[in-house]
A = this chain, B = another copy of it.
Amino acid sequence: MSTSQLQPVLDRVDADFDHSLERLFALLRIKSISADPAFAEDCKQAAAHLAADIATLGFNAEVRPTAGHPAIVATAKGNTGARPHVLFYGHYDVQPVDPLELWNRPPFEPVVTKHADGRDIIVARGAQDDKGQLSTFIEACRAWVHVTGSLPLDLTIVIEGEEEVGSKNFVPFLEQHKKDFAADFALVCDTGMWDPETPAITTSLRGLVYEEVKITAANRDLHSGIYGGGAQNPIRVLTKILGALHDDNGRITIPGFYDGVKDLPADILAQWKKLGLTAASFLGPIGLSIPAGEKNRELIEQITSRPTCDINGIFGGYTGEGSKTVIASHASAKVSFRIVAGQDPRTIRDAFRAFVTARLPADCKAEFLDHSNAPAIALDWNMKPLAASRAALTEEWGKEALLIGSGASIPIVADFKRTLGLDTVLIGFGLDDDNIHSPNEKYDLKSFHKGIRSWVRILGALAAAKR
């Protein structure tokens, strides 16, 4: 696609940007909190609102029921079957807003305001995740349709309403309606930039194994004066086991844990090192200074390409004010592993359970609860849409788009692969300081504007790329 064809579309984005913002604000005003049943009607309203808007772009756009909040499925009327076919995914639901008192303004009354450092930002719950991000894509489609009368490729849009609560009803919905989602690959706009100047495509996602373990010792709570010294204490057992999960070099000690984990290719590691991620820049803002991962690894490896173990919660015994001389009968912890390509979630889960069980006194008991078992995702760096998208992003931002790993998990990517056989290209314009899931969520006005322009270019580039 030549620049001459793109330029009018990009010009339209700039000319119409105030209206794009108005449309985003209208969506942000809808309190579509999926976790709280009190907002079920708001979720329906958000779905209806989005479907009606997308229909104006020449789509058959339907609000479709699921066992939970509804989804929107929209198929472009101009699909020919002869062009590259893209499935775009986003979610209209947002996180709860608690603690409300930490918000500087009501979370569902969006505004454009100034960040402390002078950046223009959009502030509201969902401003980034994912209403702002998915709107960059829809506004790009709008500009294409406005200027050329149609989209440059075949397109299906699916927007769900339960991403923030684990997509439990959406995945069965996908499976049930596979034929509606036939495409060559998927696009998801729910990730971030490298920094405010540097666009990025996320090509790997860590998987997540999340276990809860409960250690039981005595059959009731005991008085530590009478039993202390003689009776086993489940918190002692639990801390001894969990305290042994990492060695002094930050390496995880579970036998076999690193089996199958590959080192980064030398050229990628060299590229990542050049990015200059330092402890000062990454950990400084959160009050830390010493990378906590494997000592022989770069910080960027620790947070993206290396597997990790975190204790996300622990509880046992007396936790109120003051003191109680109790030996609890049981103690629990929530332990999660971010896993990488080459690690099998079930193998890791079983190895963790064996690690715990092997360290258990013979008269204590361990019970396990499986909260997550998602594999890592690694995209083929040579896939065509990736190269085309990367070139388009580089052109828009004037800076080479990076291929980066993400430390987090986006389970829908694995579901698309498993259910529909589709690879996913993850492109987004979020920034580290967007406060997603937290009070005062924001989206840089520049992310929104250049995000729309980026998608205009990417759609053009994908249309031009051979299928």
Q: B286 near A222 (CB under 8 angstroms)?
A: yes
Residues of B near A224 (CB, < 8 A) are 308, 310, 312, 336, 338
Interface 0/1 of A349-374, CB less than 8 Å to B: 00000000000011100000001100
Measured CB to CB, the closest approach of chain B to A411, in angstroms, equals: 11
Binds B, one of A70-78, A259-267, A314-322: A314-322
Whether A283 is near chain B, meaning CB under 8 Å from some CB there, is yes
A contacts with B, residue count (CB < 8 A): 82
Whether A66 is near chain B, meaning CB under 8 Å from some CB there, is no
Q: B325 near A312 (CB under 8 angstroms)?
A: yes
Contact of A212 among B286, B307, B323 (CB under 8 A): B323
Interface 0/1 of A112-155, CB less than 8 Å to B: 00000000000000000000000000000000000000000000
Q: In this complex, what residue of B is CB-closest to A282?
A: B230
If A224-B310, A224-B312, A336-B325 touch, does A299 touch B208 (CB 8 Å cutoff)? no
Q: B318 near A230 (CB under 8 angstroms)?
A: no
Residues of B near A323 (CB, < 8 A) are 210, 212, 312, 334, 336, 371-372
Q: A311 near B407 (CB under 8 angstroms)?
A: no
Residues of B near A292 (CB, < 8 A) are 229-233, 236, 361
* Cα(A266)–Cα(B324), bound, Å: 34
Q: A317 near B311 (CB under 8 angstroms)?
A: yes
Interface 0/1 of A214-235, CB less than 8 Å to B: 0001111011111111111101
* Cα(A306)–Cα(B324), bound, Å: 20
Binds B, one of A13-21, A241-249, A415-423: A241-249
Q: B315 near A225 (CB under 8 angstroms)?
A: no
Q: B317 near A314 (CB under 8 angstroms)?
A: yes
Whether A240 is near chain B, meaning CB under 8 Å from some CB there, is yes
Whether A287 is near chain B, meaning CB under 8 Å from some CB there, is yes
Residues of B near A316 (CB, < 8 A) are 311, 313-315
Contact of A225 among B212, B290, B408 (CB under 8 A): B408
* Cα(A259)–Cα(B365), bound, Å: 34
If A206-B225, A225-B338 touch, does A233 touch B311 (CB 8 Å cutoff)? yes
If A230-B282, A292-B230, A292-B361 touch, does A311 touch B239 (CB 8 Å cutoff)? yes
Residues of B near A362 (CB, < 8 A) are 289-290
Q: A217 near B288 (CB under 8 angstroms)?
A: yes
Contact of A226 among B228, B372, B407 (CB under 8 A): B407
Residues of A in contact with B (beta carbons under 8 Å apart): 206, 208, 210, 212, 217-220, 222-233, 235-236, 238-246, 282-283, 286-293, 299, 302-303, 306-308, 310-319, 322-328, 331-334, 336, 338, 361-363, 371-372, 406-409, 432, 437-438
Given A224-B338, A289-B362, 8 more A-B residue pairs with CB atoms under 8 Å apart are A217-B287, A226-B303, A228-B336, A235-B314, A239-B242, A240-B243, A314-B317, A315-B315
Q: Which 7 A-B pairs have the closest CB atoms?
A: A225-B408, A243-B243, A219-B287, A313-B317, A229-B308, A323-B371, A239-B242
